[in-house]
Structure 1
Amino acid sequence: MLPGLLQNLSNVHEYFTWLLKHNGGTFEFKGPWFTGMNFVLTSDPMNVHNICSKNFSNYPKGPEFQEAFESLGDGIFNSDHDSWGFQRKLFHTLLKDNRYKAFFEEAVKGKVEKGLIPILDHVSSLGIEVDLRDVFQRFTFDSVCLTVLGHDPNCLSIEFPNVAHSKAFNEMEENSFYRHFVPKRWWKLQRKLQIGSEKKLLRGWKVLDEFVYECISTKRKETLKKEELKMDLFTTIVMEEEEGEMNDKITKSNKFLRDTAFNLLAAGRDTVSSGLTWLFWLVATHPLVEAKILEEIKEHLLDN
């Protein structure tokens, strides 16, 4: 099966979708015996529910997953058992904080009004063709950075700027994903020699680390001054540390904040941007649905 996978690496998502469709929603991939590349793909809703919810504790990610995604550190995506449970409970508490919820709503609404809508108006008025996936990735990257780190990288603007830490995140994500589809010995050799995908991964990792740690340093200085603070997630965590609400030493470390940022960037950027892209594509290819949406907007949202 390995030659087919290598041949389709450039369109791996479409390839796996095709495999799943032709195998009833679940497919077992078997690589050569010496690669250790055996894994199961599933899109069956009952399987997904069983793995991700009903019996989640039966499916630990394990050391191989954690090694492949080592750039995520000890964050919630890479953790198992007690560590995962602790972080899940902590994030539920933080995300329900009324101060954070109010800031989140204000920040995302502002990014839509001052960033997303002006860009769409601009390209529409000039008849310019743009990649909506890129637009929405810029929107979600800015939104996650703003609501988690309190810093707006301003990727989403008419100029479509090339922002270093956004590009670094792309390199990290793409090349971490690549580790799953080549023999471990191969990517470890690349890492040792500092070549190929591993060189790109480490380069992106370094750039994003510098960016996040700088944000953490700034955030700690801001909270010490007790000035008007944006109630982003980092501010909420740091303030609760100072107020004695967090007694666990893990949450007080800069590494915890760094790992949290990396994991929330991974969780929030591509998931939402892909969903928005698919929504617009589906609406564009179903004129009757588009007409009903426009009718509902005129009826309920627009001033008469």
Structure 2
Amino acid sequence: MVLWLSTPELILSLLSFLLLYLYRRWYNNRHELLVNYPLIGMLPTLLSNVHHIHDWGTDVVRASGCSFMFKGPWFSSMDILVTCDPANINHIFNTNFINYPKGEEFSEIFFDVLGAGIVNSDGESWRLQRKKAHGLIAHHDFRVFFFKSTSAKVYSEFIPLLRRLAGREEVVDLQDLFLRFTFDATCQLVLGVNPRSLSPDFPTIHFSKAMDDAMSAIFLRHTVPQRWWKLMRWLDVGEEKRLTRARKVMDRFIAQAIEQKRESCGNGDGDLLASYIEDTRSMDVQEANQILRDTTMSLMLAGRDTTGAALTWFFWLLSNNKEVEDKILEELKHYSLEKKEAISNEELGKLVYLHAALCESLRLYPPVPVEHKGVVKEELLPGGDKVRPGLKILIFTYAMGRMKGVWGEDCMEFKPERWISEKGRLRHEPSFKFLSFNCGPRTCLGKEVAFVQMKAVVAAIISRFHVHVVEGHIVEPKLSIILHMKNGLLVKIRERSIN
């Protein structure tokens, strides 16, 4: 008997039918925020909206009531519960913390950059690293060293640079300046060296460029099936190729810093690397180098990127809310801090409105817009979602600040007053609602350090300069793990008149 249809023709017919079906499905649902297709799940909708993923994702979460289940392609292990429900977050980060580690997939995604450092660890390894880091950061000598080096960086380098730029009246990228400042400051605290990237000639900092490339590549790993990015890594193409090159640059920079510190017998003025080297002296050199590399890389990422991003978004918000800037200036004048060449830690602690404005900026633009968790045992979350081993959970911090059910009808407004009580003191908000510094046992150890650094920078700048965003400049988030601005923040800086 003669078959009326050969195997190739059959396959082609089935494929044509499938494509026609998917096209009709897409056409009928093209105005929906999220469409679940057969076989390929919701991935096409994600990829078609990845260019504005933060705001699109916020719309999806808002329409779904603070949580939704993203369905990936079949057999891709890409099913993800996306949530910004405070009840779920409190349960995951506090109540049943042990059931929600970072997970193996998170560790694999970040391993090329962070290795087995504190950010990328779970269990006993994480506990021991956190105990060590907490002891160092909380130590009196480190606090003294931190404030001394921060003040010197602000008043001896950053302010003179801004004064020169103001005199030229040229357009500058404020995000670049902040990232240079936080890079230098973090290198000083972590490695005990000053790269002087704030020099007037703006030297190219290869480590910073490499870190930006690495974060963009890791972002892509979150948006495609694991097999895809692993294939790209194996083929050494696209973002994975950039990541490989970036890692070599970062590893070389860290290795040189470790070697230089060892040659100086580990001596430092209070930097963290000197203490970590002392702890690893009895280890095999190769093992010690790996531990020091992973530890310092995690600390560099936490110190440079998050604070730099936070300051950038803050000044953009100030440029659109002059009344907030006026109130900060009035507060500085109230405490006679507007022109002081050095502000003490105690004086910074009095700046309630400035602190509130920073919190409000972090609420709307958290430097880390998503958190990633795994699941150990199956259970029902307070929001009603069932989770099981193998499921990934994305905590959508960026969306949480935009939920009326969490922050009220005025959630989209930049309103520092929401952080101030009737008695004029800072109002406490639970960390599972304000997640910019994480929550529960993994709360950021550098939270206090970050606030001191940000307040010192803001107080010094706005008391001396007007910062004007260039008209027509487009501000939007970059596709990265860190919430940087895609186009930077182009501004003109002018000195304030002396009253």
Structure 1 residues 249 and 102, CA gap change in structure 2 (3 angstroms): farther
One of 291, 302, 319 as aligned partner of 1:284? 319
Structure 1 partner of 2:134: 92
Structure 2 partner of 1:32: 73
Q: Structure 1 CA distance, aligned partners of 2:137 and 2:284?
A: 20
Task: Give deviations 1:139-175, integer Å, cap 9, x for gaps.
Answer: 2222212211112222233333321111111111211
SS in 1 for 2:118: coil
Instruction: Map 1:1-304; keep pairs closer than 5 Å.
Output: 1-71=42-112, 72-223=114-265, 229-239=268-278, 253-300=288-335, 301-302=337-338
Unaligned ranges ≥5, structure 2: 1-41, 340-498
AA matched with 1:96: A
More displaced stretch, 204-213 vs 15-24: 15-24
Q: Structure 2 CA distance, aligned partners of 1:231 and 1:267?
A: 18
Shift of 1:45: 3.3
SS in 1 for 2:81: strand
AA matched with 2:132: L
Structure 1 residues 223 and 100, CA gap change in structure 2 (3 angstroms): farther
Higher helix share: 1
Structure 1 residues 155 and 25, CA gap change in structure 2 (3 angstroms): farther
Structure 1 residues 279 and 87, CA gap change in structure 2 (3 angstroms): same
Q: Structure 1 CA distance, aligned partners of 2:216 and 2:132?
A: 29
Structure 1 residues 220 and 84, CA gap change in structure 2 (3 angstroms): same
More displaced stretch, 73-82 vs 270-279: 270-279
SS in 2 for 1:41: strand
Q: Structure 1 CA distance, aligned partners of 2:332 and 2:189?
A: 28
Q: Structure 1 CA distance, aligned partners of 2:207 and 2:72?
A: 35
Q: Structure 2 CA distance, aligned partners of 1:118 and 1:299?
A: 25
Kept in 2, the 8 Å contact 1:223–1:239? The answer is: no
Kept in 1, the 8 Å contact 2:68–2:81? The answer is: yes
After TM superposition, the score normalised by the length of structure 2 is: 0.55
SS in 2 for 1:155: coil
Q: Structure 2 CA distance, aligned partners of 1:47 and 1:270?
A: 27
Q: Structure 2 CA distance, aligned partners of 1:135 and 1:49?
A: 36
SS in 2 for 1:34: coil
Structure 1 residues 277 and 27, CA gap change in structure 2 (3 angstroms): farther
Structure 1 residues 117 and 15, CA gap change in structure 2 (3 angstroms): farther
Shift of 1:249: 8.3
AA matched with 2:179: Q
Structure 1 residues 157 and 20, CA gap change in structure 2 (3 angstroms): farther
AA matched with 2:144: A
Shift of 1:248: 8.7
Kept in 2, the 8 Å contact 1:223–1:238? The answer is: no
Shift of 1:61: 1.7
Kept in 2, the 8 Å contact 1:94–1:237? The answer is: no
Structure 1 residues 206 and 43, CA gap change in structure 2 (3 angstroms): same
| Aligned sequence identity (%) | 44
Q: Looking at CA atoms only, which structure, 1 or 2, has the larger radius of gyration?
A: 2
More displaced stretch, 38-47 vs 84-93: 38-47
Structure 1 residues 161 and 74, CA gap change in structure 2 (3 angstroms): same
Q: Structure 2 CA distance, aligned partners of 1:81 and 1:249?
A: 24
More displaced stretch, 118-127 vs 142-151: 118-127
Shift of 1:240: 5.1
Structure 1 residues 218 and 66, CA gap change in structure 2 (3 angstroms): same
Q: Structure 1 CA distance, aligned partners of 2:236 and 2:93?
A: 36
Task: Give deviations 1:103-150, integer Å, cap 9, x for gaps.
Answer: 111222222223332333333333333333222222222221221111
SS in 1 for 2:52: helix
Give RMSD over aligned pairs.
Answer: 2.5
Kept in 1, the 8 Å contact 2:178–2:312? The answer is: yes
After TM superposition, the score normalised by the length of structure 1 is: 0.88
Kept in 1, the 8 Å contact 2:210–2:246? The answer is: yes
SS in 1 for 2:69: strand
AA matched with 1:133: Q
Shift of 1:241: 5.3
SS in 2 for 1:253: helix
Structure 1 partner of 2:439: none
Shift of 1:208: 0.5
Structure 1 residues 57 and 297, CA gap change in structure 2 (3 angstroms): same
Shift of 1:209: 0.5
